[in-house]
Amino acid sequence: MYRVSEPGVRDGENRFFLSQPRTAAMQTILIVDDDDTVTEGLAETLQRPGRELILCGDLESAQLVIERDVPAYVVTDIRLSGPFRYEGLDFIREIKRLSAGARIVVMTGAWTADLEREALERGAAGVLEKPFETADLEAYLSEPASSEEGSVLRVPSLDHVIHSPLLVPAFQPIVDLSVPGAETVYGYESLARFAGPLFSNPATLFEYASRKGRLVDLELACIRHTLAHGASLPVTARLFINVHPFVIASNDLASALAMALADPHRADPPGVPEGEPGVWQRLRGTRHAHEDREKRPLPRPGLRLRADSGGHRVRANARCRS
């Protein structure tokens, strides 16, 4: 009965958002450290023609990078989430499993002979104790073979994505085909889109949030952004939002909806007759929508929750007119 068309995601978009295509001659270096001053400082000193630098501030984003395209060089800290963790050692093995030829340089502020021995045994080309001279790192890198303009790609953190204006909904029309020759738009499905490095593919973005243990945070942000941009839709539009069941069970769902709907800066779209409740007034009037966990239809226009896709996700339908 319904036809859904998918806009916005390009076929094969599983890598990064680059200003221009990378040639085989470009030298790619992944730099991983949870301290921005370290990644930015290294980027400033290593940047030159023929080099593409990718900066990651956590292990999860770096893993997503190498799973899609292993850089020729990886420069990584040994501790990436706390003083007593050594994820960088396991990361060496992950890189080598995907590309035996990748050259890895480990940097650490807690050097010991045992730590260096372990890193080298796992496949690192060298271990540098912080602070170190740029020349010490350059000794492990070859000269770029290309004279193309260099670039620096900063993979954003999840907090940056959640609060970024680049996280926007794409409203995909759902078309009713029940009457041949008289197709009508039944409603709109909100799809998350991020116009930035690596996470321009929604599947990659949600995988990142899942690995960080913050899927609910991302889903709630998408709901807030959807409601903030929903004024562009027709007043009578049905709006569908797909969310993970964890979100429905979250204690933060009600507050997220209340905050979004109470935003004083959002107005109904032009053309709404005076005195007629528009989309936001109708949604504000919904009572206890977040408690409707048994798929009971509300007695008036508002939010409806229904299981979808075998129960793995839940579709929230913001009905603006019955």
Tell me the helices (H) and strands (E) count for the chain, helix number first.
Answer: 11, 12
Q: Report the side by side order of strands in the sheet with 73-77.
A: 126-129, 103-108, 73-77, 27-32, 51-56, 151-154
- Cβ neighbors of 1 (< 8 A, separation 6 or more) are 176, 177, 178
The tokens for 27 are 């030298």
Sign of the Cα torsion 216, 218, 222, 225 reads positive
Report residue 281 CA to chain centroid gap: 31
Please state, as a whole number, how many other Cβ atoms lie within 10 Å of the Cβ of residue 5. 8
Q: What are phi and psi for residue 167, nearest 5 degrees?
A: -85, 105
Contact 138, 108 (CB under 8 A): no
Q: What are phi and psi for residue 29, nearest 5 degrees?
A: -125, 120
Measured CA to CA, the distance from residue 155 to residue 177 in angstroms comes to 42
Partners of 76 in beta bridges: 32, 106
Say whether 89 sits in a helix, a strand or coil: helix
Which residue intervals of the chain are DSSP H helices?
Answer: 36-46, 59-68, 87-98, 113-122, 134-138, 158-163, 202-211, 215-229, 245-249, 253-261, 279-284
Q: Which segments in the chain show pLDDT lower than 70?
A: 1-24, 82-84, 260-322
Confirm whether pTM is higher than 0.75: yes
**pLDDT of the residue at 152:** 96
Measured CA to CA, the distance from residue 216 to residue 220 in angstroms comes to 6
CATH number of the 27-155 domain? 3.40.50.2300
**pLDDT of the residue at 231:** 79
DSSP secondary structure letter of residue 127: E
Instruction: Give domain limits for the chain.
Output: 27-155, 159-319
**pLDDT of the residue at 118:** 96
Which residue is listed with tokens 């680059």?
18
**pLDDT of the residue at 24:** 62
Q: What are phi and psi for residue 145, nearest 5 degrees?
A: -90, -15
Which residue is listed with tokens 């919904």?
286
Measured CA to CA, the distance from residue 322 to residue 317 in angstroms comes to 12
The tokens for 108 are 């650490």
**pLDDT of the residue at 217:** 93
Would strands 27-32 and 51-56 be described as parallel, antiparallel, or unpaired? Answer: parallel
Q: Which amino acid type is present at position 65?
A: V
Contact 12, 107 (CB under 8 A): no
**pLDDT of the residue at 82:** 60
The tokens for 294 are 């048994």
Would strands 126-129 and 303-308 be described as parallel, antiparallel, or unpaired? Answer: unpaired
